[in-house]
Structure 1
Amino acid sequence: MVLSKTTSQLDESVHSTFASRYVRHSLPRFTMPENSIPKEAAFQIINDELMLDGNPRLNLASFVTTWMEPECDKLIMDSINKNYVDMDEYPVTTELQNRCVNIIAHLFNAPLGDGEAAVGVGTVGSSEAIMLAGLAFKRKWQNKMKAKGKPYDKPNIVTGANVQVCWEKFARYFEVELKEVKLREGYYVMDPEKAVEMVDENTICVAAILGSTLNGEFEDVKRLNELLTEKNKTTGWDTSIHVDAASGGFIAPFIYPELEWDFRLPLVKSINVSGHKYGLVYAGIGWAIWRSKEDLPEELIFHINYLGTDQPTFTLNFSKGSSQVIAQYYQLIRLGHEGYKCIMENCQENAKVLKEGLEKTKRFNIVSKENGVPLVAFSLKDNSSHTEFEVSELLRRFGWIVPAYTMPPNAEHVTVLRVVIREDFSRTLAERLVSDIEKVLQELDNLPSRVRMKLAGSEETAGKHDDVVKKTINDVQKEITATWRKFAADRKKTKGVC
């Protein structure tokens, strides 16, 4: 079953733009063609379609890295044919992964002795890392409950309602109840007091987020550790913490080094981080780091020997590319602590420029916090005439991809726009974005006015009869809605080009 929808069902063929140069017959869209075509034609057909994708540099919805240095690009292409799982054939790649694990573990203040190797693994992204960490917690809890002769069929995890969808996937795929702390207006992260209240004997861990997807805010992991320690002493449980540092793991150590969120806190047993976010690597790399060997059950590690030697593996997938692992090591040694710090501070400064520009319009409330991931989340002060979704839609005309979304329970009535500030988002782009937002707001302000003028004109022509006035008032919203629908339909005909 294909889960995603195709954009068009009007034509089941793919046509070459310059057919006479390469091919004269169209290609089937959803079945394999009978004959081969020239490589130039295949390239051109695909390249022409890809032109309609968004510009990654202007995709302000994504946390994922969209630019790397040419030297790293070359390393990636030179290693793109290496299968990472073949550790015996590519031992240097395995060594580079192990170096990355140890560098990141030290960055997160893992309690390692002299010469002691860190415990961790490279993953396809933070989603896989979270699945692996969750499985480790679940298995440890099950073993503990079995030893006590207690039921072990109803595990749960306590999180905030602001967690990323991968946590919901883990809960559903691996049959773990997800107990969510609801949000409230003005407080869009997990409340540690409420989280600890929800912990029971079946809780395998509490998941805290260092950098909420919704507004970039860091959750108070230190306070959570304190409250959970007290509860463990009272109940005799040993409930631990996992930190989802997908977005903030490569930010906090450089900008907020004194912030205690990592392995400095005794109950933090595992941390995941996305190398392809502020780790500054292209999409496809994450890391799962454990506090010690005791926190990763040996029974979850598989040993294989049919690739040449005995190889331990703890991943959800098998084959994967080596390029992103190599790229991560490049960034770690190329930039060093100084380089990462400079980049993160620059992102933070550009976020401040954008925030100040939006505040000057006097049209927005800033939802994001000063301390956290460098992003700006904001909402309209008055959305009675037009909404954040309409602002997001019209910004696409300028090439900007700025997401609009509603907050999770119990703050669904709050809608926000969000701009993620990455390394390649400059101050100039921030100023341009503010200018384009002002243009969009002006256009939105004028559109309802034209509708009201039209209605006022028809009212005057009708002699202001009471029944006409009543009908006009009742139909104002319908007229505006119809105008917007026509406007959207016209844009679709021109693919958003004016």
Structure 2
Amino acid sequence: MVLSKIGSESDVSVHSTFASRYVRHSLPRSKMGENSMPKDAAYQIINDELMLDGNPRLNLASFVTTWMEPECNKLMMDSINKNYVDMDEYPVTTDLQNRCVNIIANLFNAPLEDGEAGVGVGTVGSSEAIMLAGLAFKRKWQNRRRAEGKPFDKPNIVTGANVQVCWEKFANYFEVELKEVKLREGYYVMDPVKAVELVDENTICVAAILGSTLNGEFEDVKLLNDLLLEKNKLTGWDTSIHVDAASGGFIAPFLYPELEWDFRLPLVKSINVSGHKYGLVYAGIGWIIWRNKEDLPEELIFHINYLGADQPTFTLNFSKGSSQIIAQYYQLIRLGYEGYKNIMENCHENAMVLKEGLESTGRFNIVSKDNGVPLVAFSLKDNLRYNEFEISDMLKRFGWIVPAYTMPPDAQHVTVLRVVIRQDFSRTLAERLVIDINKVIKQLDALPRNSLLIKVELSGEEKPKRTPLEIQKDITDTWKKFVMAKKPKLVC
């Protein structure tokens, strides 16, 4: 007699995940499920849903690293269970962070004596680094004002309107007035002359951007330093500079070594840089470096001993993984100066290939500069039939994620597309993108005249004849409202 066994509902080992009950019901979205599920089913279901995300390698909106060598990936996975804050338990990891700080401080020409350690710390990203730098400036300014017997309740910081949103967060969270230098068409970075005009006795620092998010351009830190020196001499103030080198800090030393933007300038007191951008590490690592110990007030540093030994800490976060710090050290020793230089030169060359390809279409104005972060920002010469938002949307059909956005005040009528060139964006991909942009243009050319333009022109009563710039501004505003209305509301 042959004995047979009927598989039970719970005997999932004989089933394919796609034949099991776990794919027949919606996944929990607001409440935890009552029962467990097999690990392979949980993996498969989540993995399948993640397939709907965009391809990180084709996400040309992001400055963040999307590829690392397998050996570095392995190091990261091997150390993913180490909590960096446990410095006494993981002394080697702590030492690796200190080595990274020293290497970056020297890269930025910090005035260190032989054998002297750099002053800095690893952060989750440049956003945390900027918060720490801003706090140091605010506390130093308050201490100085208090010692002089002057009010210290109305600090302000001067930036360009092109700064990343983390500066707005800092000003909001830590009650510092943000004084912005407005942009203008054709000039999309902070004007040093206008910035220094905004400086007063309550200014804790001026923030310069080495690599604007909008068009990759480096701000003139040298001119800002010289103008501030003159104003400080006339007023007796001590206004300093912070350089937000989130994108450009790992580019300028290799492509533009003669450019003076770092600690070679006497008023530059702190610099932040994103290791997870052109530092070539996956998301989750930034660095803040101070010129010397005097620029970081001691009262901001906390000393704890409940993890095994006295440990100084100056971060907004407490627990954090060690993987990114280890990966940063890997990249610094693996690539060295030669390797970083070769990668940055390659990125720059591919940016030029893309720029030339876009110019050859005859349809675009290039908004970015040749010198700066390797990206290409461009806008349509004529957007009366269709605009940059439509090009961005149609490129998604080819897999490309290319953002379209409006410039900050007072250049908000200008809309641009931006392609960030990272190390994994090859010459072939640059050429392929130009081909696909040409396809999109031809498809849009074949469509009926922009319905949004018709709505703009026909809305309301008869109006006087408007200039092309006024019509363009109306179209841009209409599309901006349309795009913002489609964005999902995020829950933090």
1:20 is displaced (CA, Å) by 2.0
Q: Which residue of 2 aligns with 1:334?
A: 334
> Is 1:174 aligned with 2:187?
no
Alpha-carbon distance in structure 1 between the residues aligned to 2:439 and 2:26? 42
> How do residues 146-185 of structure 1 correspond to structure 2 at under 5 angstroms?
146-185=146-185
1:450 is displaced (CA, Å) by 11
Gap regions ≥5 residues in structure 2: 1-15, 452-461, 463-470, 487-492
> How do residues 280-429 of structure 1 correspond to structure 2 at under 5 angstroms?
280-429=280-429
Structure 1 residues 162, 449: closer, same or farther in 2, change over 3 A?
closer
Alpha-carbon distance in structure 1 between the residues aligned to 2:384 and 2:316? 47
Supply the AA of the counterpart residue of 2:298: E
Per-residue deviation, residues 170-202 of structure 1 (Å, max 9, x unmatched): 000000000000000000000000000000000
Alpha-carbon distance in structure 2 between the residues aligned to 1:85 and 1:398? 43
In the alignment of these two chains, the number of paired residues is 443
1:19 is displaced (CA, Å) by 4.5
Alpha-carbon distance in structure 2 between the residues aligned to 1:349 and 1:212? 19
Q: Which residue of 1 aligns with 2:226?
A: 226
Contact 1:56 1:66 survives alignment (8 Å): yes
Name the SS for the 1:18 alignment partner: helix
Alpha-carbon distance in structure 1 between the residues aligned to 2:177 and 2:303? 30
Alpha-carbon distance in structure 1 between the residues aligned to 2:146 and 2:383? 55
Alpha-carbon distance in structure 1 between the residues aligned to 2:188 and 2:426? 28
Structure 1 residues 23, 355: closer, same or farther in 2, change over 3 A?
closer
> Is 1:129 aligned with 2:129?
yes
Contact 1:84 1:319 survives alignment (8 Å): yes
Per-residue deviation, residues 296-330 of structure 1 (Å, max 9, x unmatched): 00000000000000000000010000000000000
1:24 is displaced (CA, Å) by 5.3
Q: Which residue of 1 aligns with 2:98?
A: 98
RMSD (Å), alpha carbons:
1.9
Alpha-carbon distance in structure 2 between the residues aligned to 1:61 and 1:193? 31
Per-residue deviation, residues 73-99 of structure 1 (Å, max 9, x unmatched): 000000000000000000000000000
Alpha-carbon distance in structure 2 between the residues aligned to 1:355 and 1:369? 10
Alpha-carbon distance in structure 2 between the residues aligned to 1:24 and 1:436? 39
1:44 is displaced (CA, Å) by 0.9
1:29 is displaced (CA, Å) by 2.0
Q: Which residue of 2 aligns with 1:63?
A: 63
Alpha-carbon distance in structure 2 between the residues aligned to 1:84 and 1:417? 39
Structure 1 consecutive aligned stretches of length 4 or more whose deviation exceeds 6 Å: none
1:23 is displaced (CA, Å) by 6.1
Contact 2:23 2:45 survives alignment (8 Å): no
Q: Which residue of 1 aligns with 2:250?
A: 250
Name the SS for the 2:196 alignment partner: helix
Supply the AA of the counterpart residue of 1:429: L
Alpha-carbon distance in structure 2 between the residues aligned to 1:101 and 1:420? 27
TM-score, scaled to structure 2 = 0.88
Name the SS for the 1:448 alignment partner: coil
1:448 is displaced (CA, Å) by 1.5
Gap regions ≥5 residues in structure 1: 1-15, 452-469, 471-476, 493-498
Supply the AA of the counterpart residue of 1:124: V
Name the SS for the 1:27 alignment partner: coil
Per-residue deviation, residues 327-351 of structure 1 (Å, max 9, x unmatched): 0000000000000000000000000
Contact 2:82 2:322 survives alignment (8 Å): yes
Q: Which residue of 2 aligns with 1:75?
A: 75
Alpha-carbon distance in structure 2 between the residues aligned to 1:24 and 1:413? 50
TM-score, scaled to structure 1 = 0.87
Name the SS for the 2:447 alignment partner: helix
Per-residue deviation, residues 148-171 of structure 1 (Å, max 9, x unmatched): 111111100000000000000000
Q: Which residue of 2 aligns with 1:9?
A: none
Contact 2:386 2:450 survives alignment (8 Å): no
Supply the AA of the counterpart residue of 2:92: V
> How do residues 32-47 of structure 1 correspond to structure 2 at under 5 angstroms?
32-47=32-47
Contact 1:23 1:37 survives alignment (8 Å): no
Identical positions, percent:
86
1:28 is displaced (CA, Å) by 2.6
Supply the AA of the counterpart residue of 1:313: T
Contact 2:129 2:287 survives alignment (8 Å): yes
Q: Which residue of 1 aligns with 2:438?
A: 438
